[in-house]
Structure 1
């Protein structure tokens, strides 16, 4: 019998791997519903759904390997990063799904959430006040009107698989929906600023780089406390705190 590998686990959900099958356990049935529906609509390769028995979703493993993982090196070629950029553009040009996604929060609601989170980061001593203040100022550029697109909502590089210079699939669609395209691009290049030109070469359209940088700051500010509380380390080299420090 194959060994059971714990891919990720925290209080909200867990993902296990048994051979070529991934088992996603999520107590929030709505997230699983979104994931399955988004994969059926997305015009990019996604994992095959093998079966569903709430609270478990079974999906097949994808060929290839991920582009990397935040805080670690990426050995993928510039062409592979460009191919990922082209796949992201294909997603963003697809017909809109009927539900809002993680990247679709209004600027007003997001600003209020961000201000509250920045206050907590400082008052609890999780981050230095000057680091938070500087990045809150940078993040302001993301709080602007945007045209909704079909967004993945959690497009970390670990969620994109490639084989050679071709994208073989994209996983973890539970945050997908209508949202800001630049949120996806910023999430994908978080911690990999040196790869941004390759991604945008594949994406193939002009992008406001100030907004990308703003999303790097905004996403990192919102993530730090959650990561700490769920057993992850945003202070690890190359991760969220280093992203915030790079804006100083």
Structure 2
């Protein structure tokens, strides 16, 4: 049912598809005195889509043993294709968040989410190829973490433009995961003392609000005449 609402919501809209490439340089992680990570990986995710780096060891610094770094001597590149939709009223690209998540990978293979930060891909989308240097402060999602910072380069290449309902503009992963909690790690990824229940409740509330917004937009769309298509503008 969710995929139907998504398709109806996109009627009369334009869309642009972009190829984003992130190049990881350094991850800084500060822990409490009671725990230290094993190996760390960075997950670039939206719903069920997950692009993961190879786990690398966390090395404490000489000045502060509670603050350590993961350094990519050779930057690790990861790519995602992102479809951004144009608001038919403002003719501007709509927001779309992809989230960077830091995970600890234990020697047993168990993964634990430590910190996360959303990045609005609209801010870095451009008709002309661009490259942006990012220093992202991530919000701790575990009480074992004091703070985390990710340094990376984000590149954007414009692929094509078309109607939002065109087959080559559809993201099947997005359509199939409307009610999927893939943005939130599974229960075993958290420590027992972490605030998983609160995060889950916030996510459920967000989904209800999103569905209400979709219904409102559909109602407005039915009552309005079809919007004239206009060329996609740059940033």
Higher normalized helix content (fraction of residues)? 1
TM-score between both structures, scaled by the size of structure 1:
0.23
Higher normalized strand content (fraction of residues)? 2
User: RCO (CA 8 Å, sep 6+): is it higher in 1 or 2?
Assistant: 2
TM-score between both structures, scaled by the size of structure 2:
0.24
